[in-house]
Amino acid sequence: DEASLTLLLLVPGIQPQSFHGDVGAQHYSLRFCTDTAAFALFLRVPAAATLLSPESSISVSAHNAVVRLAKAPGSTGLWDKFSFGPEPSALQERLFVSEENVDGFLGTASCPSPCSQSALESQPLIEVLDVTEDRIQIRVEHEPPATSSAIPGGSARKEPDLESAAAAGDTAPGSGEEGEVAGGEDEEAAPELGSRAGSPVLREVNPEDGSVRILRDHRTRCPV
């Protein structure tokens, strides 16, 4: 929180008499033991942050230990990052959970390199709803895809369907050949000139060999 820093050590069976900590202005070192192992922790805070010595409180239980460190009066507030490791020469950096750090991380993860305008427009909208010490709640909203007519120089494209594919093969100008259906389907003769262009299309599957026929002109008989 803004006034203190809490460390939760998830190590069961800590011997309370072996728990020894040292608080510095920008670091905290800790050593303790269990029945089977020895542990060491070194924590370093940014130069602009300052800790108060000694620890505010230490609580050791059968399953974990909790250490609370107080922040100096000029260093209160939410800190950005810290470093930790078994010793000062082997530290790794971590970020505290805050709204600013979450926004920065999400922006870097979604677009790590300089992005184009189109790539930025396609990114989802991310809203941070709630931030606590142990969790963060966000909401992701996807913008509806832009139509092709909104793209300068672009033209509207429509996915071909069976009817348009059959009509393209049947009514090609100057072509006396039979229309073909892509994918090795059976050929169909061109419809008569009097047939309607908007007739519904049916697919007939032969149960013997699995071939597919495209039927544009058909009649349905219903019992009276």
Taken in order 123, 127, 131, 135, the sign of the CA dihedral is negative
* Domains of the chain, first to last: 4-95 (2.60.40), 99-141 (no CATH), 160-171+178-189+196-219 (no CATH)
Contacts with 8 (C-beta within 8 Å, 6 or more apart), sequence order: 64, 65, 66
Render pLDDT for 11-64 as a digit per residue (tens, 0 to 9): 999 999 999 999 999 999 999 999 999 999 999 998 889 999 999 999 999 999
Question: Which pLDDT belongs to residue 5?
Answer: 92
Polymer length of the chain: 224
Quick one: average pLDDT of 134-138? 69
Alpha helices, DSSP H, located in the chain: 99-110, 117-122, 162-170
**Is the pLDDT assigned to residue 150 strictly greater than 90?**
no
Extract the tokens encoding 72.
């100096």
Render pLDDT for 163-189 as a digit per residue (tens, 0 to 9): 444 444 444 444 444 444 444 444 444
Question: Which pLDDT belongs to residue 10?
Answer: 94
Question: Which pLDDT belongs to residue 206?
Answer: 74
Q: Give one word for 25, left, alpha or beta, with left for phi > 0 and alpha for psi -120 to 50.
A: alpha
Distance between CA 216 and CA 219 in Å, rounded? 10
Q: Which residue has the tokens 């460390």?
A: 7
